[in-house]
Amino acid sequence: MRPLYTLLLYLLTPFVLLRLLLRSRALPDYRRRWNERFGFVPRPEQPVAVWVHAVSVGESLAAMPLIKALVERHGRGRVWVTTTTPTGSARVTEALGDAVLHSYMPYDLPDAVARFIDRIRPGRVVIMETELWPNLFQALKRRRIPLLVANARLSPRSFRGYSRVRGFAADTLACCRVAAQSPADAERFRSLGAPQVTVMGNIKFDLALPEAQLAAGRELRERVGTQRPVWIAASTHEGEELAALQAHAALRRRWPDAVLILVPRHPQRFDEAARTIERQGLAYRRRSEPRAFGDAAVLLGDSMGEIFVYYAAGDAAFVGGSLVDVGGHNVLEPAAAGLPVLFGPRMHNFLPARELLLAREAAVEVADAAGLEPALTRLFEDAALRERMGAAGREAVAANRGALHKLLQELESA
């Protein structure tokens, strides 16, 4: 089946490039560095000890503790990090600078993959979460380069999709070891035919809170107003900004000075979110604007890599991608910051984290957009409840640390 898959990839490549051009109208970086997507990267001056791939911002943030530990272990310039999206690329560059080598991930075309591997010559490869690339995995196997799919998760929905091509999936998974987030994830990988699966937990629990961002968040809260109720709607998608703004307008009927920090998931949607705020008739400021916040009702978080600034400035957090059919985003970050967490019913990409926070009474799941305002009202009415939920979230995250150490041991044993 792999020859058919490869043929389809070559046939689709022109359309993929066209899609990059179309997306570049909103985010110009999509039209840059195309050579990297075909494996044309400079040869490193010294051997690459580990190549780590993290597709976008979420995966890059999850991989950050691992990448930093690998740099500390192997030295600067000996870890190569790839991403797929410009936002992921920007996050890696901003957080790690020249401590790592960085490029886009090559497309899963045999010549592009071979060219890339032969140029960087990695000693080991780590693919974050669930990025299964048949040609890449086979190329690494032929070269006897150890491959680990780390922090691996496989939702029931994704499992059903891969089950339709079970033999093809099994051939791909036979090329790697899988370090699964949970026993349920591990069982789904084994059911697809993965021969080497271990449960190591979720390294997102090992994310260190960035002190500089926490300090900046406290300063932001001072500027917004320490006595004003503040909540965050983070990583929102189309439709969720409107839901958050409508909930906020209802909240302001009881708390006229309440503030919403609205943080869209993708930077190309910042301006769209601003127009949505304007249509709701709410006064707002942008994070990127230097002027004073004043009595504005909304702060638009139009910056990248500052999520803990926003969490440190708030009293509660709603995490997006959960009211729409995306599958949710990282609810462990606001929990680690000590905030009560809200999310919608579509959390299939973060089921273990969802179950943990609900079991610890650190989070509230709302059934739909209409459930946001009552849940927030309850939290704003009860400071003791906010404190209990925030403390429970911090404790839940702290109690589940340790996956990073296991992953490093697994890599060293390859």
3-class secondary-structure state, position 299? strand
Kindly state the tokens that stand for 403: 């996956």
Distance CA 18, CA 354 (A): 37
**Full residue range of the structural domain in which residue 372 is found:** 211-399
Tokens standing for residue 74:
């192997």
Alpha-carbon distance of 280 to 298, in angstroms, equals: 11
State whether 26 and 155 are in the same domain: yes
The answer on 258 and 139 residing in a single domain is no
What residue ranges of the chain have pLDDT lower than 50?
Answer: none
Residue 409 within a domain: no
Same domain, residue pair 270 and 381: yes
Specify whether 245 is located in the same domain as 356.
yes
pLDDT (tens digit, 9 = 90+) per residue, 75-122?
Answer: 999 999 999 999 889 889 988 999 999 999 999 999 999 999 999 999
Give the catalytic positions in this structure.
59
Residue 109 main-chain phi, psi, to 5 deg: -95, 135
Q: How far apart are CA 163 and CA 141, in angstroms?
A: 23
Measured between alpha carbons, how far apart are the two ends of the chain, in Å? Answer: 29
Q: Where are the alpha helices (DSSP H) in 143-210?
A: 156-163, 166-173, 183-191
Find the CATH number of the domain harbouring 344.
Answer: 3.40.50.2000
Residue 407 within a domain = no
Helix/strand/coil for 309: helix
Q: Are residues 299 and 182 in the same domain?
A: no
Pair (274, 359) in one structural domain: yes
Non-local CB neighbours of 184 within 8 Å, separated by 6+ positions? 351, 352
Note the pLDDT of residue 414: 67
Encoded tokens for 379: 């939290």
Residue 342 and residue 246 share a domain: yes
| Closest listed residue to residue 203, CA positions, set 390, 413, 412, 400 | 400
The 10s digit of each residue's pLDDT in 253-265 is 999 999 999 999 9
Q: Is residue 321 part of a domain?
A: yes
CATH code of the domain in which 40 resides:
3.40.50.11720
Decide if 60 is inside a domain. Answer: yes
pLDDT value for 214: 97
In a domain, 161, yes or no: yes
Tokens 């990090």 sit on residue: 81
Helices (H), 31-74: 34-37, 57-74
In a domain, 412, yes or no: no
Q: Are residues 280 and 301 in the same domain?
A: yes
User: Are 226 and 351 found together in one domain?
Assistant: yes
Contact yes or no for 57/304 (Cβ under 8 A): yes
Last residue of a domain, one of 180, 200, 220: 200
Residues 233, 154 within the same domain: no
- Structure tokens belonging to residue 33: 């560095």
The domain boundary, picked from 200, 234, 254, lies at: 200
Based on the fold, state whether residues 251 and 174 are members of the same structural domain: no
Give the C-alpha separation, 128 to 56, whole Å: 10
Cα 23 to chain centroid distance, Å, stands at 20
How many whole angstroms separate alpha carbon 245 and alpha carbon 130? 33
- The secondary structure element, H or E, covering residue 220 is helix 211-224
Which domain-ending residue is among 143, 166, 200?
200
Same domain, 261 and 193: no
Count of domains forming the chain: 2
Q: Count Cβ atoms below 10 Å from residue 144 Cβ, excluding itself.
A: 6
- On whether residue 369 sits in a domain, the answer given is yes
12 belongs to a structural domain? no
Phi, psi of 278 (to 5 degrees): -60, -40
